[in-house]
Amino acid sequence: MKEPADTIACALVLSDEAVDRIAERVLDRIQLPTDAPWMNLKAAAEYLDWPPKRLYNLVAKEGIPHRKHGNRLLFNRQELDRWLDLHYQGPSDFAP
């Protein structure tokens, strides 16, 4: 395709590090839905601030609410919150 006469074409070469920094800044600025009820294993681990291996172990023991579809694990945000409430330890003033 031929460029119009008043158009200047240029190419920008960025390092992988520069691309990663740009991607991080874009993610910081866009609004991602945080109220989605379903999370995959990675998102659930991030939500709970746990390593994914800990979730795998709980799933294997049927110790945490989850759904399995094929090889995919899904976690419901509200079910995780209720499950965490069941494991509350601390002053009764703050109990769920």
Assess if residue 18 is contained within a domain: no
Residue length, the chain?
A: 96
Assess if residue 20 is contained within a domain: no
List pLDDT tens digits, range 4-52: 667 787 888 889 898 888 888 887 777 656 678 999 999 999 999 999 9
Assess if residue 58 is contained within a domain: yes
Domain count, the chain: 1
The whole model's pTM is what?
A: 0.61
- The CATH number of the domain holding residue 81 is 1.10.10
Give the separation between CA 65 and CA 36, rounded to whole angstroms: 17
